[in-house]
Amino acid sequence: MSDVSRLRPGVVTRSVSPENPTGAPGQGGRATEGTGSGPGRELGPGWKISPSIEIPANGTIDLADVEGPGRITHIWMTTHTNHWRSLLLRAFWDGARQPAIEVPVGDFFGQGWGRFAQVSSSMIAVNPHGGFNSYWPMPFRRSARLTVENLADAPAVVYFQVTYDSGTDEAASGYLHAQWRRSNPVVQALHTLVDGVTGAGQYVGTYLAWGVNSRGWWGEGEMKYYLDGDGEFPTICGTGTEDYFGGAWNFDVPGQGYTAYTTPHLGLHQIITPDGLYESQQRFGMYRWHVADPIRFASALRVDVQALGWRAGHRYLPLHDDIASTALFYLDAPAATRPPTPTPDELETL
């Protein structure tokens, strides 16, 4: 983590928001039109005239378009829960044609089920009621462009602020990538998080939105990291799903069952239980940030997780669960092999 006491000559802080769309010095609060122009009509410029934007149905807007070098240090965002899965957040580094980040807004902030769950972690904080905060460092050498696409057939209002340092030396920095994949249902009890990534870098974060489609315990499967030419077998192999997220013994505290927790680097922050009617399945949200323990690779990366439960005779049961993953890693290139852009049907919360 950075030393906040260190002086950095030549580095200045800028912030892009609907109140200052360019982040330019002295240009904040000058709007004369915007989503707050009605409430502020008696007060005029400087009084919250443009606190948010409206993204048209099936439209895309720029959150920030910045010339570098620089580093995004904080993103704050909020929108109605209805939009958490239908808005796609993208980031393009250094003029790359393909996005390094392409993730539903809700999943990027650990809210894949379209329901609020508190997250109190070092890199992502989500606070009542849907205040999304990212502290993932996002370095760039020439430019950064953040966009949001609205895949829904209705407009969406979004509040946001993107804060960045301008003038930093990022010659030795990797580019942040975030990829979203969903297996619904999982095939052959295996869900892929990352595949086909080449180059040098470090894997830094996992979020899983896990929907259970059978009775019993569902988390016997192992997380596996295939590094730098690994074939059938990985270099890093965990011992179970709950173990990877820092828990143990089914996340089950005797007498109270599944027990939520949120810590700086890992957590089971969301537990959705059946209601006896339409909410028939158990669903979970889990995260692990490899900030203190990044997984470094020199030339290639592949990551997957098994979906295993139990069957009679103390035998593993391959599962057909619904798993959506957000995987984060830094890479020495601004673009990488990535999954296809998800469709609205693939994003639907079922």
List helix spans (H) across 198-283. Answer: 241-244
Q: Which two tokens stand for residue 343?
A: 């469709």
Q: Which residue has the tokens 């593993």?
A: 316
Number of alpha carbons in the 13 Å side-chain half-sphere of residue 287: 30
The answer to whether the beta carbons of residues 148 and 52 sit under 8 Å apart is no
Q: Domain for residue 40, yes or no? A: no
* Measured distance CA(311)–CA(274) in Å, rounded: 22
Q: Domain for residue 22, yes or no? A: no
Q: Domain for residue 174, yes or no? A: yes
Handedness of CA 311, 314, 317, 322 (dihedral sign): positive
Q: Residue 255: which CATH number?
A: 2.60.120.1390
Query: Which of 78, 212, 45, 69 has its CA nearest to residue 141?
Result: 69
Is the pTM higher than 0.95? The answer reads: yes
pLDDT at position 272 is 97
Q: Domain for residue 10, yes or no? A: no
The answer to whether the beta carbons of residues 238 and 312 sit under 8 Å apart is no
Q: Which domain holds residue 72?
A: 52-347
* Measured distance CA(205)–CA(283) in Å, rounded: 20
Q: Domain for residue 337, yes or no? A: yes
Q: Which amino acid is at 251?
A: F
The count of domains in the chain is 1
The answer to whether the beta carbons of residues 121 and 268 sit under 8 Å apart is no
Q: Domain for residue 35, yes or no? A: no
| Sequential DSSP letters for 259-300 | --EE-SSEEEEEEE---SSS--S-EEEEEEE-SSS-EEESSE
pLDDT at position 33 is 92
Q: Domain for residue 153, yes or no? A: yes
The answer to whether the beta carbons of residues 100 and 267 sit under 8 Å apart is no
Q: Domain for residue 14, yes or no? A: no
Query: Which of 36, 31, 11 has its CA nearest to residue 19?
Result: 31
Length of the chain: 350
* Measured distance CA(349)–CA(207) in Å, rounded: 16
* pLDDT by 10s per residue, the chain, length 350: 568 899 999 999 999 999 999 999 999 999 999 999 999 999 988 999 999 999 999 999 999 999 989 999 999 999 999 999 999 999 999 999 999 999 999 999 999 999 999 999 999 999 999 999 999 999 999 999 999 999 999 999 999 999 999 999 999 999 999 999 999 999 999 999 999 999 999 999 999 999 999 999 999 999 999 999 999 999 999 999 999 999 999 999 999 999 999 999 999 999 999 999 999 999 999 999 999 999 999 999 999 999 999 999 999 999 999 999 999 999 999 999 999 999 999 999 87
